[in-house]
Amino acid sequence: MPARARFWSWLLVLSVFTATPLIAHAEGGHEQKRAEVQQRLKRLRHELLVKEVGLDEQKALAVERGLERFALEKKSVRDRIEQHRDTIRKLLESNSNDQKAYTAAIRGLREAEKQRAALRERELDELAKLLTPKQQAQLMRGTERLKRRLMHRLRERRHGDRD
């Protein structure tokens, strides 16, 4: 897999750390629960940076600040993407023939996706300034493990709700 593709995959995995509103919603959606989930994810991210990547406290905090700087912007772009997807879904469900509405929604979705890609590039550039290539690789590996663990827990929780 080319290095650039690995970085894109890695950035997707990093979104787990900044997608706490989505995870909190899956766990009930209450504000207090959301805050607890955010704190838990921050703690897990910090532990990953210190234990698996081997960063000292100061460097780990710098990396976390770098990631958090992009969190609000990422949420905004994610919300726009979701809004455009929702518009497209509604148009299709209503069997609409409003070609202008489809065009506007698709154009908006593509633009938001481009903004998300540019934001990912900026985030990767920021991390590359803070971490060595080996540390970046360790972070990618650790983040992937953490993502799998979190997704497994979410699936268990959803499955448990059906019983």
- Which residues have a Cβ under 8 Å from the Cβ of 71 and sit 6 or more positions away? 18
Per-residue pLDDT tens listing for the chain (163 residues): 566 555 555 554 555 455 554 554 554 557 888 888 888 888 988 899 999 899 999 999 999 998 888 888 999 999 999 999 999 999 999 999 999 999 999 999 999 999 999 998 998 899 999 999 999 999 989 989 988 988 888 888 887 755 4
**What pTM does this model have?**
0.65
Q: Which residues contact 132 (CB under 8 A, 6 or more apart)?
A: none
**CA distances in angstroms from 6 to 2, 71, 93, 142, listed in the order given:** 6, 21, 36, 14
